[in-house]
Structure 1
């Protein structure tokens, strides 16, 4: 299944989004146009700071559906901007995953910034991971660790965009726990039907809220 906005994954930073090879694909994109490139550059910095403020993602989303909490690479709760190597704990409505102690977990595997003559891009890419303090190594997420979510904020001239690109989304049925496998089958099936699209669409829209600078 390919669920996309028409302008998904093009332009600066597109090479940081993994190739789609299996499972479902998703693209959620929002954009705003400012009066000048200078105004757009200033607003880009605001949106970039919001992207890195993972603990407020649920608050910023226009239609909050999940709660997000940042943890450092040692599994300690973090009250700061996100960094590469951090983990994000996701509280999805409904039954949690036992291998994740009730939560889904992802690792921030890349955090990068690219600048060119008239464009700026910040990329935050996450991948399903094991619980950072768990005893096992099984992926604690409803998707396999082949999946990625790439969040980007971009400025191109006087336009600022916020984007989420999901790639290679396949339900995780190899948790080592039959109840988790059943739960992941249902949640993963819902994601394939596009039920996660409104969440990411509402988040990227919230990142670009010009009324809350």
Structure 2
């Protein structure tokens, strides 16, 4: 059984700020059905450009390491451009940005796990190192699809979430504070809940 989040080093230790754990589970009537649900959920996780349609709120666009939009499965080192409702960041040219730090696939004792961790980052073609995101770059989001026997779970784990009020631009300071407070109050939970449920849907 693959259950220990630290065993796979995908979910960082919580040190500061807020944390969030969003988990949705679904059982297959047989192990074969569960395996099919797991496979489909993994495909949806890896196809970032479809997340917006699945979650029904923000729009997500996969960007390669050169800053070019791509339509393929996500890879380590890729960027994800996020268009959340409301004004975007000046630093991010109207968007929030994260970079894919790690993608890990684990098989153990007949069970399987696919995980991906992302972190706020600068705009990929900017000279600035400032995180173009409403959270500081200490924050991470880890997405996991897990198969244990006939049960499949889809998860999002946020760690060390602190509003990015150190932004260089005054407009970004205010905007990031407001969006960060909204996230801390749990207003981002419905979007992630919607997404992980969609990963497991028929």
The 5-angstrom pairing of residues 161-180 of structure 1 reads: 161-180=153-172
Deviations 1:160-209 (A, max 9, x none): 11000000000001121111011100000000000000000000001110
Please give the secondary structure, in 2, of the residue aligned with 1:56. Answer: helix
Q: Contact 1:112 / 1:124 at 8 angstroms: preserved in 2?
A: yes
Following the alignment from structure 1 to structure 2, what is the Cα–Cα distance between the partners of residues 119 and 175? Answer: 43
- TM (normalized to structure 1)? 0.91
TM alignment of 1:13-162, pairs within 5 A: 14-15=5-6, 16-61=10-55, 64-162=56-154
1: CA distance, partners of 2:4 / 2:111: 10
Partner Cα distance (2:39, 2:200) in 1: 11
8 Å Cα contact 1:13-1:114 kept in structure 2: no
Query: Any conservation in 1 of the 2:2–2:111 contact (CA below 8 Å)?
Result: no
1:13 deviates by 5.7
Q: In the comparison of the two structures, how many residue pairs are matched? A: 199
Match of 2:194, SS state, is helix
**Contact 1:13-1:123 within 8 A present in 2 as well:** no
> Which sections of structure 1, spanning at least 5 residues, go unmatched?
1-9
TM-superposed CA distance for 1:36, in Å, is 1.5
Asked whether the 8 Å contact 2:67–2:125 carries over to 1, the reply is yes
Instruction: Render the CA deviation track for 1:47-97: whole Å, top value 9, x for unaligned.
Output: 100000100001112xx2200000011111010000110000000100110
Q: Establish whether residue 202 from structure 1 lines up as the match of residue 194 from structure 2.
A: yes
TM-score (normalizing by structure 2) = 0.96
C-alpha distance in structure 1 between counterparts of 2:83 and 2:186, whole Å: 18
Q: Secondary structure at the match of 1:99?
A: coil
Q: Which runs of 5+ in 2 are unaligned?
A: none
| Cα deviation, residue 14, structure 1 | 1.1
Q: Is the 8 A contact 1:12 1:121 kept in 2?
A: no
> What SS does structure 2 have at the residue aligned with 1:96?
coil
Q: Which moved more, 1:14-23 or 1:183-192?
A: 14-23
Alignment RMSD (CA, Å): 1.2
